[in-house]
Amino acid sequence: MSHLRYSVKRLLQAIPVLLGITSITFFLINAMPGSPVEVMLGPTATEEMITEASARYGFDQPLYVRYYKYILAVLGGDLGQSIHYGVPVTEKILERLPVTILLLVSSFTFAISVAIPLGIVSARRRNQPIDHGSRVVSLIGVSTPNFWIGLLLIIVFGYHLQVLPSNGLVMPFTPISEVGGADSRLDVLVETGRSLIMPTIALGTLQMAAISRIERSSMLEVLGRDYISLARAFGVKESVITRKHAFRNAQLPVVTIIGLQLTSALGGAVLTETVFNINGMGRLIIQAIRTQDYALIMGTTLFFGFMFVVGTLLTDLTYAYLDPRVTYEGEQ
C-alpha cells in the first residue's frame, strides 16, 4: 500500500478518536457544578436574567440536544464563544497555538539532537565511564519534575547570573517596537532565542532522557546482530558500521518513543508555560478552568487531543519511511 493511501486510512481512523475526545470533554464539562450562564452573569444576576440568558445561549435545552449541536458546530469548525474573553474560542486558540508549537518544536529538537548522539556513544562505549555518565544523566532526567528544572534555571540564570529572561516568550514575528531594546528584526530573533533557552531545557529534559535510554538499548540490540558481526569480520570500520549499518535499523523503537512522548510533552507544556509565564495553549487551558469558561475548556482540550493525533500520524509515517519492510496491508 502506498504511503498516501496509508495516511488517508490513518486519518480516517483518527475520526472516532477525536469524536471520543469531544464526547468525554463535553460530558465532563457538563458535570461541572454551576451553569455557565451563572458564571458569566456573576453573583448579582436575578432569576429572570439567568433564564433569559440560558434561553439565548441554548443552555435550557436538554443535554443530548446540546451535545448534538456541539458536535455539529465542531464539525463546522466552530468551537463556540469564550465567555471570559468574549471572542470565539478558535480565535483565542489560533492566537496561542504558535507559542506552544514553537516551544514544543524547540524542546523536541533539543531532546532529539542531544539524546541520539548520547545514546549512540553510550551503546558503543558500553560499561565505560561515558556510558555510566550518560545513563545517570538520563535517569535523573526521567525522574525530575520539569517545572522544578524550570524553577532552578530561573534561580540560577534568571535571578542569580541575570543572563537569561525568565518571563514570557518573545515570538519571532512580534512587532519590533514591542520588544524592549530591539532595533531590528535580528534583535527580535535573538531575543526569541534567549527567551526560548530555559523553557526548552525545562520541557525537553524528560524527552531527552527517555529518548537516549531507548536509543542506547536499541543500538545495543542492533549492534549485537549477526550481520553486524559479519561486517566486523570483513574488517568494516566501527564508525562505518554505526553510521551505515546499525543507525537506521536502530531508529524504529526511537521513533515510537518520540511519538509516545508527545502526550507527556503536551502535559509538560502546561507546567512549563506556567513556570515561565508564557501565554500559550497550556496556560490558556488552566485559565479557562479557573474562570470556568466552558467553551474554552472544551475547545482547548479537543485541540490538545487533535495535536496528539496529528503527532502520532507523523510518527507512523516516519516509521513507514524508515522501515521499508513495514507494509500496511491488513494492518490495524
Partner 1 sequence: MSTESAETEHEQEYESRVGAMHAFSRLLEDTSAKISLVAITIISAMALFAFVDAKLLDYQLAEMFLYHPLRAESGARPLLPPVGLSNQFGDGVLAHPLGTDTRGRDIAVRILYGSRIAIQIALVSTTIGVAVGTAVGAVSGYYGGWIDDVLMRFVEILYSIPFLVLVIAFMAAFGRNLTYAMIGVSIISVPIFARLIRSEVLSIREETYVEAAQAAGVKDRNILLRHVIPNSFAPVVVQTTLQMGTNILIVAGLSFLGFGAQPPTPSWGQMLSIARNYMLPAPWFSVWPGLAILVTVMAFNILGDGLRDILDPRLND
Rule CB under 8 A: which residues touch partner 1? 16-17, 20-21, 24-25, 28-29, 31-33, 139-140, 142-148, 151-152, 154-155, 159-160, 217, 220-221, 224, 263-264, 266-268, 270-271, 274-275, 285-286, 289, 292, 297, 300-301, 304-305, 308-309, 312
What minimum distance in Å lies between the beta carbon of 172 and partner 1? 25
Distance CA 27, CA 125 (A): 53
Distance CA 289, CA 165 (A): 28
C-alpha cell, 183: 532595533
Tell me the three state secondary structure of residue 88: strand
What minimum distance in Å lies between the beta carbon of 312 and partner 1? 8
What minimum distance in Å lies between the beta carbon of 151 and partner 1? 5
Instruction: Enter the DSSP assignment of 123.
Output: H
What minimum distance in Å lies between the beta carbon of 161 and partner 1? 12
Task: Give whichever of 160 and 325 is closer to partner 1, judged by the CB atom.
Answer: 160
- Max intra-chain CA distance, the chain: 88
What minimum distance in Å lies between the beta carbon of 177 and partner 1? 30
Distance CA 319, CA 314 (A): 9
Task: Give whichever of 99 and 188 is closer to partner 1, judged by the CB atom.
Answer: 99
Task: Give whichever of 182 and 202 is closer to partner 1, judged by the CB atom.
Answer: 202
Handedness of CA 266, 269, 271, 273 (dihedral sign): negative
What minimum distance in Å lies between the beta carbon of 33 and partner 1? 8
Task: Give whichever of 192 and 261 is closer to partner 1, judged by the CB atom.
Answer: 261
Task: Give whichever of 49 and 135 is closer to partner 1, judged by the CB atom.
Answer: 135
Task: Give whichever of 140 and 176 is closer to partner 1, judged by the CB atom.
Answer: 140
What minimum distance in Å lies between the beta carbon of 12 and partner 1? 13
What is the DSSP annotation of 286-330? Answer: HHHHHTT-HHHHHHHHHHHHHHHHHHHHHHHHHHHHH-TT---TT
Task: Give whichever of 118 and 150 is closer to partner 1, judged by the CB atom.
Answer: 150
What minimum distance in Å lies between the beta carbon of 267 and partner 1? 3
What is the DSSP annotation of 21-85? Answer: HHHHHHHHHHTSSS-HHHHHH-TT--HHHHHHHHHHHTTTS-HHHHHHHHHHHHHTT---B-TTT
What minimum distance in Å lies between the beta carbon of 190 and partner 1? 25
Tell me the three state secondary structure of residue 170: coil
Task: Give whichever of 111 and 182 is closer to partner 1, judged by the CB atom.
Answer: 111
Residue 13 in contact with residue 25, Cβ under 8 Å? Answer: no
Residue 18 in contact with residue 298, Cβ under 8 Å? Answer: no
**DSSP bridge partners of 81:** 88
C-alpha cell, 328: 500496511
Task: Give whichever of 182 and 297 is closer to partner 1, judged by the CB atom.
Answer: 297
